[in-house]
Structure 1
Amino acid sequence: MRVGYAAGGFDLFHVGHLNILRQARSQCDFLIAGVVSDEMLQLTKGAPPVVPLSERLEIVR
Protein backbone atom coordinates (compact mmCIF):
# COMPACT_ATOMS: atom_id res chain seq x y z
CA MET A 1 0.00 0.00 0.00
CA ARG A 2 1.31 3.43 -0.95
CA VAL A 3 0.43 6.28 1.40
CA GLY A 4 0.74 9.84 0.13
CA TYR A 5 0.86 13.15 1.96
CA ALA A 6 -0.07 16.56 0.59
CA ALA A 7 0.14 19.57 2.89
CA GLY A 8 -1.07 23.07 2.23
CA GLY A 9 -2.77 26.11 3.66
CA PHE A 10 -5.81 25.61 1.41
CA ASP A 11 -6.84 29.17 2.22
CA LEU A 12 -9.49 30.47 -0.18
CA PHE A 13 -9.84 26.95 -1.61
CA HIS A 14 -10.03 26.92 -5.41
CA VAL A 15 -9.84 24.49 -8.31
CA GLY A 16 -6.02 24.63 -8.25
CA HIS A 17 -6.05 23.20 -4.73
CA LEU A 18 -8.51 20.53 -5.83
CA ASN A 19 -6.24 19.60 -8.74
CA ILE A 20 -3.23 19.29 -6.41
CA LEU A 21 -5.17 16.89 -4.18
CA ARG A 22 -6.53 14.90 -7.14
CA GLN A 23 -3.06 14.55 -8.64
CA ALA A 24 -1.56 13.51 -5.30
CA ARG A 25 -4.35 10.99 -4.78
CA SER A 26 -3.74 9.46 -8.20
CA GLN A 27 -0.17 8.62 -7.13
CA CYS A 28 -1.07 6.58 -4.04
CA ASP A 29 -3.57 4.19 -2.50
CA PHE A 30 -4.36 6.42 0.47
CA LEU A 31 -3.85 10.17 0.70
CA ILE A 32 -3.37 12.17 3.88
CA ALA A 33 -4.14 15.85 3.31
CA GLY A 34 -2.40 18.04 5.87
CA VAL A 35 -3.87 21.47 6.53
CA VAL A 36 -1.35 24.00 7.82
CA SER A 37 -2.29 25.86 11.00
CA ASP A 38 -3.31 29.52 11.12
CA GLU A 39 -0.09 30.28 13.02
CA MET A 40 2.09 28.59 10.39
CA LEU A 41 0.36 30.49 7.59
CA GLN A 42 0.91 33.74 9.50
CA LEU A 43 4.59 32.85 9.90
CA THR A 44 5.20 31.77 6.29
CA LYS A 45 2.92 34.21 4.43
CA GLY A 46 3.25 37.13 6.80
CA ALA A 47 -0.51 37.48 6.97
CA PRO A 48 -3.30 35.63 8.73
CA PRO A 49 -5.45 33.28 6.64
CA VAL A 50 -8.77 34.58 5.30
CA VAL A 51 -10.52 31.30 6.14
CA PRO A 52 -9.94 29.98 9.70
CA LEU A 53 -8.41 26.55 10.29
CA SER A 54 -11.67 24.88 11.40
CA GLU A 55 -13.34 25.84 8.13
CA ARG A 56 -10.32 24.86 6.00
CA LEU A 57 -10.28 21.45 7.67
CA GLU A 58 -13.94 20.95 6.79
CA ILE A 59 -13.38 22.05 3.17
CA VAL A 60 -10.48 19.63 2.68
CA ARG A 61 -12.28 16.78 4.42
Structure 2
Amino acid sequence: MRFILVNGRTPFRLSLCALCRKPIGASYLREIETRLPYCDDQCYVEHCQGAVLAIENQARAS
Protein backbone atom coordinates (compact mmCIF):
# COMPACT_ATOMS: atom_id res chain seq x y z
CA MET A 1 0.00 0.00 0.00
CA ARG A 2 1.37 3.33 -1.03
CA PHE A 3 -0.73 6.39 -0.32
CA ILE A 4 -0.63 9.96 0.86
CA LEU A 5 -2.82 11.14 3.74
CA VAL A 6 -4.11 14.64 3.09
CA ASN A 7 -5.49 16.68 6.01
CA GLY A 8 -7.05 20.12 5.93
CA ARG A 9 -6.98 20.52 2.17
CA THR A 10 -9.70 19.84 -0.35
CA PRO A 11 -8.90 18.94 -3.96
CA PHE A 12 -8.83 21.76 -6.50
CA ARG A 13 -11.78 20.34 -8.43
CA LEU A 14 -14.81 18.52 -7.06
CA SER A 15 -13.60 14.96 -6.54
CA LEU A 16 -15.40 11.78 -5.61
CA CYS A 17 -14.11 8.74 -3.76
CA ALA A 18 -12.88 6.15 -6.25
CA LEU A 19 -14.75 3.38 -4.41
CA CYS A 20 -17.96 4.73 -2.82
CA ARG A 21 -18.37 7.89 -4.96
CA LYS A 22 -18.88 10.20 -1.92
CA PRO A 23 -17.56 13.76 -2.31
CA ILE A 24 -14.01 14.23 -1.03
CA GLY A 25 -13.75 16.50 2.02
CA ALA A 26 -10.88 18.18 3.82
CA SER A 27 -9.24 14.86 4.77
CA TYR A 28 -8.71 12.01 2.33
CA LEU A 29 -6.24 9.44 0.99
CA ARG A 30 -4.65 9.59 -2.44
CA GLU A 31 -3.03 6.52 -3.96
CA ILE A 32 0.45 7.46 -5.18
CA GLU A 33 0.60 5.37 -8.36
CA THR A 34 -2.89 6.03 -9.74
CA ARG A 35 -3.54 9.37 -7.97
CA LEU A 36 -7.08 8.15 -7.20
CA PRO A 37 -8.70 9.79 -4.14
CA TYR A 38 -10.43 7.79 -1.39
CA CYS A 39 -12.67 9.38 1.25
CA ASP A 40 -11.15 7.37 4.12
CA ASP A 41 -8.87 4.47 4.97
CA GLN A 42 -11.71 1.92 4.88
CA CYS A 43 -12.49 2.65 1.21
CA TYR A 44 -8.80 2.39 0.35
CA VAL A 45 -8.48 -0.97 2.16
CA GLU A 46 -11.59 -2.33 0.38
CA HIS A 47 -10.13 -1.23 -2.96
CA CYS A 48 -6.84 -3.02 -2.21
CA GLN A 49 -8.62 -6.20 -1.12
CA GLY A 50 -10.68 -6.18 -4.31
CA ALA A 51 -7.55 -5.79 -6.42
CA VAL A 52 -5.85 -8.72 -4.68
CA LEU A 53 -8.91 -10.93 -5.22
CA ALA A 54 -9.01 -10.03 -8.90
CA ILE A 55 -5.33 -10.95 -9.33
CA GLU A 56 -5.84 -14.25 -7.47
CA ASN A 57 -8.86 -15.12 -9.61
CA GLN A 58 -6.96 -14.32 -12.79
CA ALA A 59 -4.07 -16.54 -11.67
CA ARG A 60 -6.44 -19.43 -10.96
CA ALA A 61 -8.07 -19.08 -14.38
CA SER A 62 -4.71 -19.33 -16.17
**Fold match (TM-score > 0.5):** no
TM-score range relative to shorter protein: under 0.3
TM-score, reference length from structure 1: 0.27
Instruction: Report the structure number with the largest CA radius of gyration.
Output: 2
* Structure (1 or 2) with the greater helix fraction: 1
